[in-house]
Structure 1
Amino acid sequence: MLSLTITERLARARSDLRLGLPVALTGGAPALVAAVEALTPERLEEMRALGPLELAITARRAQTLKAHAYDGDVARIAVGDAPLSWLRAVADPAGDLANPLKGPFHGVRGGDAVAHRAGVQLAKTAQLLPAVVVVRAPAPDILTALPADVALAEMAREHALTPVISARLPMVASEAGRVHIFRPHDDTAEHYAIEIGRPDRDAPVLARLHSACFTGDVLGSLKCDCGPQLRAALAEMGAQGAGVLLYLNQEGRGIGLANKMRAYALQDQGFDTVEANHRLGFEDDERDFRLGAGILRQMGFSAVRLLTNNPAKIRMMESHGVTVAERVPLKVGQTAQNSRYLATKAAKSGHLL
């Protein structure tokens, strides 16, 4: 008989949350969780009919709302008969300044918060706002079900990447270019390695871990330095005749393009890039640089000369089997529009600018 692995069920669960369907979390007290962002009024009432509802948000979002996070990294809030509009106002900070008083919040304490924690993390990996409605109820057979603690462990571990195909691609930076496609086993986004020339596998390779930035890389945004960094890294590899640029599909420091645009809207209200992420319920940086180390190892590289201003990338490479022989600074792309953004990265995220 066919059965699904935990990775396959997680992939289904992410899809279900994005469609507005609840996901069943088992392993302790059974619970159904649904992402606030995708929930409909009809689905909310169906869940309310099963028992008392609780809203789970991250401690970062709870801090903004002055709600108690009794469970450390998540806060549980009693919903009562609150409408969907209230849930969305608590989950989404877009209207915080216009309507700051959403409480009083009745925090839930005691008991098991594993399902709440797993639900919030699932919403994050589905690139939704990290806020879920939870009801303690048995799982109907039609819903995707998975053990909450096993799901948390699976989402936290490093996932293998499978090489799919590589092909020659002449580029402006170098006619001797080749693009490699890697597909993760957990059904998340594919990642790419752009190889310039024929780098020596026995020597530290000039390398860049570049996270996807649609606004900067494609549209030429002046709010960040991503586009100039991408082009400067490729140009330097072309000039030296060899290098590898890893293009990791982790838009918006891992929160996705929609949430990145939400962060931009908050920045328009006066918050800096880190404050905006926190108000949304995310950490400063949600990216997983283990992906880059895994790709480099699969390609046969064990040491790099890393083009970066971010010490976190160096630490992650070193801790996952890739020696950083040299940090090569990449200080390009400062504009009048991104000077505050760059200053925040230096002051709050430790970037060496």
Structure 2
Amino acid sequence: MPHRQDTPPSPQSSQTNANPCSSLSVQRAVFELRSGRMVIVGTKSGDQALILAAENVTEDNLKALRCLSEGPVHVALTGRRAKALELIDEDLGPAFRVVLNSHCTANTIHQYADPLLGTPAPSSHVEEVPSRGYEQAAIGLTKIAHLLPTALVSKLNTSGANDAKTLAKEHNLLTVQAEDVFQSEHCVSQTLQRVSEAPVPLQDAENARVIAYRPLDGGLEHLAIVIGDPTKAGKPALIRIHSQCFTGDLLGSLRCDCGDQLRGAIQAIAKDGGGVLLYLAQEGRGIGLVNKLRAYVLQDQGADTIEANEKLGFDADERIYLPAAFMLNDLGLKQVRLLTNNPTKVQALSEANIEVVDRVTHAFPSNQHNETYLQTKKIKAGHLL
């Protein structure tokens, strides 16, 4: 994953070690891309490039990008997406570029990004991009923005940083550094702050309160649902890390088991005498609700849940668990019993210095709509079902 390459820093690191200004520039860049505007990405080597989110390219902003850059325009896409398009034989690298001709239209660019729109004409100009460059940063920004992970990129033909600054000022363009993009989610996880909490009696746990955590850059909030007193049980607290699922949690979708897992966890924690359910804003295994709906269409066309994410250009699972570790530290829970079938969650907490003394199985009966989904999680994702 282009924006998640480094080993995450420990969530116990002081908040003052993180740079909220850097993560704020990333959030601003995300807003610009979601709005269909260009952003300038700079690298350590001094290279500068104009980027657009591929799914938001129009004929107008494509023309504007070509006029400002005066250089070749190419599509930057993940290895997963390049393989899905049969541009490469194997997923050998994290990101690739496809050089576009001067007559390429917005519709063709959309096809590079979205598998539901057909396949673009084959290209022989496909190259793996340099590590930690502006192409990888562009893809990272689209992922953070919950857009399709494909970007339109053009290197600026400027003689120095001052020229790029002039261009940014004259055309009101935001500039963001590639390294800030790569470190953004790790940085954000270290700057979570409690912003609100209140008692919220639940149907299966009347003695519950909800604590909201927000990062300093103003990004999405994560929630800790504290049931009873987790510290007075005389044993490590029972906890569940639950990723937000609008369709399963709220609508009762039968395509997944998320709703059952959410309500079952609350019941289990209440029965145990107390614990915490961490509700992370990571819809669709980290790809966002819109992309999850796109993945559902691909699943209806024959892909499984993992293949669908990869056809869109994502990894099978884009989630990170540093926010969960940070919240557990804030709540004073250094040892936990974890309700999960996912070994990755156990590993992630252990790497963040949270001791998982026991993994508690958390499985529910399947139905005709989610049988294949659950089997895929077991066979391909290693879930212990």
Query: Which residue of structure 2 aligns with residue 140 of structure 1?
Result: 168
Among 233, 238, 259, the alignment partner of 1:227 is 259
Query: Which residue of structure 1 aligns with residue 100 of structure 2?
Result: 79
Aligned positions, number: 348
Deviation of the 1:241 alpha carbon: 2.2
For 2:288, give the aligned amino acid. Answer: G
Which sits farther off after the overlay, 285-294 or 100-109? 100-109
Relative to the length of structure 2, the TM-score reads 0.86
Query: Which residue of structure 1 aligns with residue 275 of structure 2?
Result: 243
Within a 5 Å distance, the mapping from 1:169-208 to structure 2 comes to: 169-200=200-231, 203-208=235-240
Q: Deviations along 1:241-260, whole A, 9 cap, x unmatched?
A: 21100011100000000000
Query: Which residue of structure 1 aligns with residue 142 of structure 2?
Result: 123
The answer to whether 1:334 aligns with 2:356 is: no
Within a 5 Å distance, the mapping from 1:28-67 to structure 2 comes to: 28-49=46-67, 50=69, 51-67=71-87
The structure-2 alpha-carbon separation of the partners of 1:149 and 1:44, relative to structure 1 and needing over 3 Å to count, comes to same
Q: Identity percentage over the alignment?
A: 40
Among 96, 106, 111, the alignment partner of 2:125 is 106
Query: Which residue of structure 2 aligns with residue 88 of structure 1?
Result: 110
Structure 2 gaps, min length 5: 1-19, 157-163
Mapped partners of 1:148, 1:117: distance in 2: 8
Among 11, 17, 30, the alignment partner of 2:33 is 17
The answer to whether 1:299 aligns with 2:364 is: no
Query: Which residue of structure 2 aligns with residue 6 of structure 1?
Result: 22
For 1:152, give the aligned amino acid. Answer: F
CA contact (8 A) 2:93 2:128 kept: no
Which sits farther off after the overlay, 181-190 or 290-299? 181-190
Deviation of the 1:181 alpha carbon: 0.5
For 2:62, give the aligned amino acid. Answer: L
Which sits farther off after the overlay, 335-344 or 62-71? 62-71
For 2:228, give the aligned amino acid. Answer: G
Relative to the length of structure 1, the TM-score reads 0.94
Deviation of the 1:110 alpha carbon: 7.2
Structure 1 gaps, min length 5: none
Which sits farther off after the overlay, 227-236 or 325-334? 325-334
Query: Which residue of structure 2 aligns with residue 154 of structure 1?
Result: 184
For 1:95, give the aligned amino acid. Answer: L
CA contact (8 A) 1:199 1:205 kept: yes
The structure-2 alpha-carbon separation of the partners of 1:247 and 1:111, relative to structure 1 and needing over 3 Å to count, comes to closer
The structure-2 alpha-carbon separation of the partners of 1:64 and 1:121, relative to structure 1 and needing over 3 Å to count, comes to same
The structure-2 alpha-carbon separation of the partners of 1:220 and 1:111, relative to structure 1 and needing over 3 Å to count, comes to closer
Among 288, 300, 311, the alignment partner of 2:320 is 288
For 1:94, give the aligned amino acid. Answer: L
Deviation of the 1:134 alpha carbon: 0.6
CA contact (8 A) 1:304 1:323 kept: yes
